Amino acid sequence: MGHPVGRTSRDVAEPDLPPGQRLQRGWPVTHYGPVPKFRPERWEFRVFGATADGEKHCWNHEEFSALPYSSVVGDLHCVTKFSMLGAEWGGVLARDLLALAPPAPQATHVMVWAEYGFSSNLRMADFAAERTIFATHKGGELLTAEHGFPLRLVVPQLYAWKGPKWVRGVEYMTADRRGFWEERGYHNVGDPWREQRYSYQEEPGDGPEL
Ligand SMILES: Nc1nc2c(c(=O)[nH]1)N[C@H]1C(S)=C(S)[C@@H](COP(=O)(O)O)O[C@H]1N2
Ligand SMILES: [Mo]
């Protein structure tokens, strides 16, 4: 064991980086459009679409803040090639939300909706993954406005655009539909380990026809 002579510890730590990614010191801010202003009295989180009971489920900010709190460790991989590894995220697990507002059996995908109509589509399996989390905190501290306060989705096993900041709801879908970046040339699935960056790389079954 130990590090091979002549190599730095950085070299041996890289297996956590997906192909084509590089480590980023600090935490840059990346998004399209302005940072929305948080108005607690107008904020609500909605789960709608193909729910098991056919109803829409809503939480105001106070109610959402009272949901079970969990934390996970997960990476952010931006498709522009920087990665942040091993961040600790706190908030509500997507799994817990699925239990609180169950989808109909026919629901196969979700659209995650954020302020200003930003959206991102996910396969139900990615949404229900162990570490998919609606984060309110990072490293034990509340998110800042530019990083998504009061709520952002983190899906550690996919590229970071799959996790909207300023998230406001989830639509359960019985067929796949492209979200904001998925309609604009990015891969429908977005697995960084398979380097699924762009829609031209898609194979049959990866997403709806373009
Ligand atoms: N609402 C919204 N969420 C978004 C985006 C966006 O444009 N709008 N960009 C995504 C992209 S491409 C990345 S890399 C991450 C960046 O998160 P950060 O700014 O906290 O590093 O946010 C994601 N979530
Ligand atoms: Mo990104």
Superfamily of domain 46-201: Oxidoreductase, molybdopterin-binding domain (3.90.420.10)
Whether the predicted pLDDT of 199 surpasses 60: yes
- pLDDT score, position 210: 85
Q: Is 194 helix (H, G, I), strand (E, B) or coil?
A: helix
CB crowding 88-123: b at 16 or more within 10 Å, else e: ebbbbbbbbbbeebebeeebebbbbbbbeebbbbbb
> Strand 82-93 relative to strand 22-23: parallel, antiparallel, unpaired?
parallel
Domain positions in the chain: 46-201
- 91 touches ligand 1 (CB under 6 Å): no
3 vs 20: CA distance, rounded Å:
23
Distance 177 CA to ligand 2 centre (A): 20
Give residue-wise pLDDT tens across range 42-100. Answer: 999 999 999 999 999 999 999 999 999 999 999 999 999 999 999 999 999 999 999 99
Phi, psi of 89 (to 5 degrees): -110, 135
Residues listed for the chain: 210
Q: What is the pLDDT of residue 150?
A: 98
> pTM of the entire structure?
0.93
- Closest CA to ligand 1's atom 8: 31
As a dihedral over the C-alpha atoms of residue 103, residue 150, residue 142, residue 130, rounded to 10 degrees, the angle is: 20
Cβ(149) to ligand 1 under 6 A?
no
pLDDT at 14: 62
